[in-house]
Structure 1
């Protein structure tokens, strides 16, 4: 059995909300803040990675 890699989303704002995107099968909505010095953050529930558009982390 293989495990799918967590999703990566490129976002325009440093503050993002994640709810797992699966409707009733998702998780509680959490608000995440992307640190400027890192340029990304991972959701503690679903491990989705949010990359801030234009950040150094994308290179």
Structure 2
């Protein structure tokens, strides 16, 4: 499985990075990026809590 953040949709709210700093970080452009492909409960919660549904787990 892989975790992806759609850069065109991400608004940089930091919800995912605050919930799962071991999986997501905010890049210099202010948008989130998956730095770890560990699909766990935290990653799923971050996906579910993204206000613009920019996170996908395939």
**Pairwise TM-score range, normalised by the shorter structure:** under 0.3
Larger Rg, first or second structure (1 or 2): 1
| Greater share of strand | 1
TM-score (norm 1): 0.26
**Higher RCO by CA contacts (8 Å cutoff, separation 6 or greater):** 2
Instruction: Name the one with the larger helix percent.
Output: 2
